[in-house]
Structure 1
Amino acid sequence: MQQNLSYSSQSGSPHWRIEDIAFAEIDRAAVENNEDLFFLLMSASFVETGSDTYATNLAEHYAAYPEIASWLKDHWEAEELQHGQSLRVYVETVWPEFPWQQAYDSFFAEYSKLCTMEELYPDQRLEMVARCVVETGTTAYYHTLRELSDEPVLTGLLDNIRSDEVSHYKHFLKYFKQLQGQSPVGRMRIAGALYGRLKELRESDSDIALRHVWAHKGRYFANSGRRFEDLARHIYELVSRRLPADLAVRMLLKPMLLPARVEGLIRTPISKLATRVMSH
């Protein structure tokens, strides 16, 4: 076995490698007729593959903080790109007639316009808060995919990716706390950043990816009878319903840095509210 293992900056343990995934053992019959997985996995492969542009902007945004910039380039970007590479191999194995590169190119032509420095919060503390929201969203996404998977190779791959996303969330939260400790920003501004980025999640990269998958799907699921608007609504509700509300609220409340007693008091009612919102 090769010894060029990368290591998790969180634990120091060996990080999983794409070379170790048994793509040749994929049980295509278990997944190829699953329309939800087709759209979710294709969309995820696009977004993850395009992450290097965003990572470059983030590293520049935090250039004054070498530790943060180094982690973004050496770990976050590398792991996101590995997600994209592994997902691409998987979907091209299961749905070989899908024109992946052509569809990705059309996606990236639109998506790259969002990957600008102007899209980042000028305040580096608040951008870290926004990153925590995004990682909460990706955790929801891969939580959903993992629940939908009955195919062993896919299940293992999704476990790896989901673990990475949780680790990324922990890093962004850690760096936010460091910046907050140096120069605190008020909780009202933190709450505003949380709410603002949360509102944008639906009209963001995954929505763009979904449209371009739909535009290039060809014969795949052509007879399902769905309109794109119906599919998009279904996918959004599917992801929302399957994320345990308590987990999402815990992740979203952490950047508020509330006293433990206060967080404990408000978490349950907010979780109940989130459950009602996400189920409609």
Structure 2
Amino acid sequence: MSHSNALPWTLESLDFNRIDVARVRHNEDLFFLLCSSSFVESGSDLYTQNLIDHFADDQELQTWLRHYWEHEELQHGRALTAYVRCVWPEFDWDRGFNAFWNEYGAVCTAEQLEPCRGLELAARCVVETGTASLYRALHEITDEPVLKQLTNHIKSDEVRHYKHFYQHYRLYREREGFGRYKVFRAILRRVKEIKGEDSDIALRHVFNQCYPQHLGNETEFRRISDRAQGLLRRHIPAGMTVKMLLKPLNLPSSLQNMLEKPLARMSGKLFLH
């Protein structure tokens, strides 16, 4: 598997001075989605290190994680953060991120990873499915040109990351010989984890920073976060999400076709509350 040293795009290729602020500034739901995403992406170095340690003697995968994947994920964080700072300069991003990191850093541990390496790669495919779907949805939601360009860049990166993890997953599946049931269980565990923890922590710390007067008010937090996630759910690319999610199961085509339509109808609920 060959690698290219150059990033597919750079922060410098985005002209933040061209942002049409009036098109996005009023949209609080979009702000919550972008800012929470910037928090998670900016913490990529921690979960990259967890994965590098998990694949201790797989030099090829470790090299890709350390020199390619981590750099691209952190660039996503920098770009999203720069965008948020440009459009909503009054938001104290650093304070919000530090509070998020204190909580997220404590739960983002190696213990969360699947003990079986191949199953962890299946779980990584789930994560990349979620992020590719997220940025594709954000791309559809906005008509602001710079954000449209940025979300398209990130979506393309996440699809490419998915393909890379999937290639390695296939190698480990042959090597470790686990069955489809174990893969299904690993996929389900990671979907639940994403729904219940990662996005929730990030959204909560954006909320806490925006509404300190409602700190600890679960009803008000749910009202704001459900509204933002409702916007996202309406734009989730159903077909793409389901195909990517089912692929590691290596189902017979007849069964795959039978499952795709009903799952596509509920795709908005797969990664969201």
Q: Distance in 2 between matches of 1:276 and 1:179?
A: 30
Deviation at 1:143, TM superposition (A): 1.7
Q: Distance in 2 between matches of 1:32 and 1:90?
A: 11
Match of 1:37 in 2: 30
Amino acid across the alignment from 1:239: L
Match of 1:148 in 2: 141
- CA shift in 2, pair 1:14/1:74, >3 Å: closer
Match of 1:169 in 2: 162
Q: Distance in 1 between matches of 2:270 and 2:57?
A: 39
TM-score normalised to structure 2 length? 0.90
Residues 249, 271 of structure 1: 8 Å contact kept: yes
User: 1:168-207 alignment to 2 at 5 Å?
Assistant: 168-207=161-200
Does the alignment pair 1:248 with 2:241? yes
Deviation at 1:279, TM superposition (A): 10
Q: Which runs of 5+ in 1 are unaligned?
A: 1-7, 220-225
Alignment deviations for residues 85-138 of structure 1 (CA, whole Å, 9 cap, x no partner):
011111101111111111100000000012211111111111111111111111
Residues 30, 228 of structure 2: 8 Å contact kept: no
Q: Distance in 1 between matches of 2:78 and 2:224?
A: 25
Residues 45, 83 of structure 1: 8 Å contact kept: yes
Match of 1:211 in 2: 204
- CA shift in 2, pair 1:46/1:274, >3 Å: closer
- CA shift in 2, pair 1:158/1:197, >3 Å: same
Q: Distance in 2 between matches of 1:87 and 1:166?
A: 18
Match of 2:100 in 1: 107
- CA shift in 2, pair 1:171/1:243, >3 Å: same
Q: Decide which of 81, 86, 92 is 2:79's aligned counterpart.
A: 86
Residues 245, 272 of structure 1: 8 Å contact kept: yes
Q: Distance in 2 between matches of 1:132 and 1:65?
A: 18
Alignment deviations for residues 209-243 of structure 1 (CA, whole Å, 9 cap, x no partner):
11111111269xxxxxx921112222233323322
Q: Decide which of 96, 117, 124 is 1:124's aligned counterpart.
A: 117
**SS at structure 2 position matched to 1:185:** coil
Match of 2:56 in 1: 63
TM-score normalised to structure 1 length? 0.88
Pairwise CA RMSD of aligned residues? 2.3
Q: Distance in 2 between matches of 1:278 and 1:51?
A: 19
Q: Distance in 2 between matches of 1:277 and 1:169?
A: 17
**Which range is displaced more, 49-58 or 256-265?**
256-265
Q: Distance in 2 between matches of 1:22 and 1:213?
A: 25
Amino acid across the alignment from 1:130: A
Residues 121, 127 of structure 1: 8 Å contact kept: yes
Deviation at 1:258, TM superposition (A): 2.0
Q: State the number of aligned residues.
A: 266
Q: Percent identity?
A: 44
In proportion to residue count, which structure has more helix?
A: 2
Does the alignment pair 1:48 with 2:8? no
Match of 2:216 in 1: none
Match of 1:5 in 2: none
Residues 240, 278 of structure 1: 8 Å contact kept: no
Alignment deviations for residues 141-168 of structure 1 (CA, whole Å, 9 cap, x no partner):
1122111211111110111011011111
